[in-house]
Amino acid sequence: MGQNWADRRVVVTGLGCVSSLGNDAATVWSHILAGRCGIGPIERFDVSGYDCRIAAEVRDFDPVVAFPNAKEVRRTDRFTHFGVYAGWRALQDSGLDLSREDLDEIGVYLGSGIGGLETTEAQHKVLLGRGPGRVSPFMIPMLILNMASGLFALYHKLRGPNFATCSACATGTHAIGEAWATIKRGDASVMFAGGTEATIVPLGISGFAAMRAMSTRNDEPTRASRPFDRDRDGFVMGEGAAVLVLEELSHALARGARIYCELAGYGNTCDANHMTSPDPEGAGAARAIQMALRHAGVAPDAVDYINAHATSTPAGDMCEVQAIRRVFGEHALRLAVSSTKGSTGHMLGAAGGMETVLCCKALEANVAPPTINLDNVDPACPLNCVPNTPQERRIDVFVKNSFGFGGHNAVLVGRRFKG
C-alpha cells in the first residue's frame, strides 16, 4: 500500500438507501427537494391507546432482490432487510464489479442503534404463550445488531474489516467515520458503511413515548416533525437504512468510478454529561466538529452547509445551535443549516447514513435541502435553517452532525472532489 495516513484520500462512490420517501437515493432526494414528508399514521399495528400514533414507515418494500433467496429473508429481521437492501443499492450505484476485486480488501461497517427489536418482541410473546421449546432457533442471529453487517458481507464474500457500530442516533455516522479511518490507515481499499433501523413496533413506540421524547401531534402527521421551530414537541420515529461506498482515491480512479465527494474528516467525542440529555452548552458536539475540521484541514469559514442532527426536540435542537455558534462564530450566520428529519422522521441508528447520502446529493446539486415545517423559527436559533424551500447556493464543503443517547457525538466533513 505504501502511503501513510495523511496521503491516503477517501472518496464516496456509491449511495444506497431505503426510507419512507423511497428506496433509492435519487427518489429520496427528489422528495426532499419537493418538501414532501414520509410521516403518516402507523399502519403496521394497532396504535389505539398509544400517546404517539404516527411514524415514517417504509412501505412498498420487498427486500428479496438483495438476498440469495426468499428463505434467507424469512430468517432475518426487518432491520437486516433494510441494511442488506441499502448495501445492495449502494453496490449497484457504485459500479463496482466484485468479480474483478480483491475481496480481502473490501469491508463492511453497518451499524444499528437497537437491532432486531421486532424479533425480540415477537419471540418473547412465543416464550410466554407457548413455552421455551417453541422459541425460534433463529431468534439470536435475527436480533443481534451485527447481523446486517455480517450477512451483507457473507452474501457478497467481502472478507475485509467488518463490525457493527452501536451508538444510538450517532450510529450511522460513526460507522462511516470508522470506515473512513480504516481506509486512511491502509486496512482496506473499499468499505460499505452506514446504518439500519426498524423500531416501529409496539415496544419501540411505547418505550420512546414513555420518555416524553416523541411528538404527539397525531392529527397532523406531516407537520409533526419540525426541527428548529418554536412549536416543536418531540421527534417522530422513522425507519430504514442507508449505506455509502467509500473508496481509497487511487482505487476509485483506476476503475473510472464516479465520485460524489471526498470524505475528508471525522470527529468522535462524548459529552459525559447525562444519560439522554446533551450538554446544554454544546461543548461536546463542538469538540467533535472541531476534530472533524482539523482532520480535514478545513477552516470553519470554508464550510458552506451543515446537515444538522436536529430531531425536533425542545432541548436537543438548541444544544446543537449552541455548538454551531461556538465553532463557527460570525460565519454561522452565513451558513445554510438544515435538518431533513422533518421529511424522513428520525431514523435513529440509520439517520446519519441517510443524511450523509443527502449531503452528497446537496453538494452534487449545489442545493441546500429545506427544513420543512419551519413556520416560526425558535428565537434562540439565529441561523439560516433553510425554512421550507431549498436554497440554491455553492456547496464545496459540508458538515454532517449526529448525536446519540449516552452523550455520543459523531461528525463528518465532506468536500467537493478536486483531482
The DSSP H or E segment spanning 307 is strand 305-307
Q: Which of 166, 169, 319, 385 is catalytic?
A: 169
Q: How far apart are CA 72 and CA 69, in angstroms?
A: 6
Range 265-415 has CATH code 3.40.50.150: no
Active site residue 309: yes
Q: Are 14 and 94 in contact (CB under 8 A)?
A: yes
Predicted local distance difference test score (pLDDT) of residue 1: 42
Query: Which residue do the cell numbers 457500530 mark?
Result: 165
Same fold, 10-254 and 265-415: yes
Active site residue 346: yes
Exposed / middle / buried, residue 137 (Cβ in 10 Å: 0-12, 13-18, 19+) = exposed
Going by their DSSP bridges, the two strands 54-55 and 40-41 should be labelled as antiparallel
Predicted local distance difference test score (pLDDT) of residue 68: 96
Q: How far apart are CA 166 and CA 182, in angstroms?
A: 17
Quick: pLDDT tens for 154-163. 999 999 999 9
Among candidates 60, 26, 190, 176, which has minimal Cα distance to 109? 176
Greatest C-alpha distance within the chain:
64
Q: Which of 81, 295, 346, 408 is catalytic?
A: 346
Residues of the chain with pLDDT under 70: 1-3, 276
The CATH topology of domain 10-254 is Peroxisomal Thiolase; Chain A, domain 1 (3.40.47)
Contacts of 241 (CB under 8 A, 6+ apart): 17, 18, 19, 79, 82, 83, 85, 86, 87, 110, 148, 194, 195, 196, 197, 350, 353, 354
Q: CB count, 10 Å around CB of 136?
A: 14
Quick: pLDDT tens for 305-322. 999 999 999 989 999 999
Exposed / middle / buried, residue 394 (Cβ in 10 Å: 0-12, 13-18, 19+) = exposed
Active site residue 169: yes
DSSP at 166: -
Exposed / middle / buried, residue 315 (Cβ in 10 Å: 0-12, 13-18, 19+) = exposed
Q: What ranges do the domains of the chain cover?
A: 10-254, 265-415
From edge to edge, which strands make up the β-sheet containing 10-18?
Answer: 162-163, 106-111, 190-197, 240-248, 10-18, 261-270, 408-415, 397-404, 305-307, 336-338
Q: How far apart are CA 246 and CA 400, in angstroms?
A: 16
First to last CA, the chain: 20
Q: Which of 309, 319, 360, 381 is catalytic?
A: 309
pTM value is 0.96
Backbone phi, psi, residue 211, to 5°: -80, -5
Contacts of 201 (CB under 8 A, 6+ apart): 44, 45, 117, 118, 121
Q: How far apart are CA 316 and CA 303, in angstroms?
A: 22
